[in-house]
């Protein structure tokens, strides 16, 4: 439940993150989106040395949750209205 809430916040807060659903994102794409999300929430572009471990752990966890979500989605992406 926490991960789902975090991903929902990701969609609302990080407007510069590209939609990955309906594409074939690479691991780098997923990690870049996760890193942007953690930057947004933490307020750090790059964490201090004291916060690097927790920052990177958060990126890893969010990237894993994102990859799992994308792998398990079964419906096709909605098309934007023209």
Write out pLDDT tens, residues 12-61. 555 566 777 777 888 999 999 999 999 999 999 899 999 999 999 999 99
pLDDT of residue 35: 94
Interhelix angle 2-13/27-42, rounded to 10 degrees, is: 80
CB burial of residue 3 (10 Å; 0-12, 13-18, 19+)? middle
pLDDT of residue 57: 97
DSSP three-state, residue 26: coil
pLDDT of residue 12: 52
């Amino acid at each position: 439940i926490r991960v789902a809430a975090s991903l929902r916040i990701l969609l609302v807060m990080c407007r510069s993150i590209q939609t990955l659903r309906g594409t074939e994102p690479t691991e780098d794409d997923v990690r870049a989106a996760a890193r942007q999300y953690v930057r947004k929430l933490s307020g750090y572009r790059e964490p201090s040395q004291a916060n690097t471990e927790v920052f990177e752990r958060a990126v890893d966890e969010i990237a894993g949750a994102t990859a799992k979500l994308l792998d398990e989605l079964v419906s096709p992406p909605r098309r934007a209205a023209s």
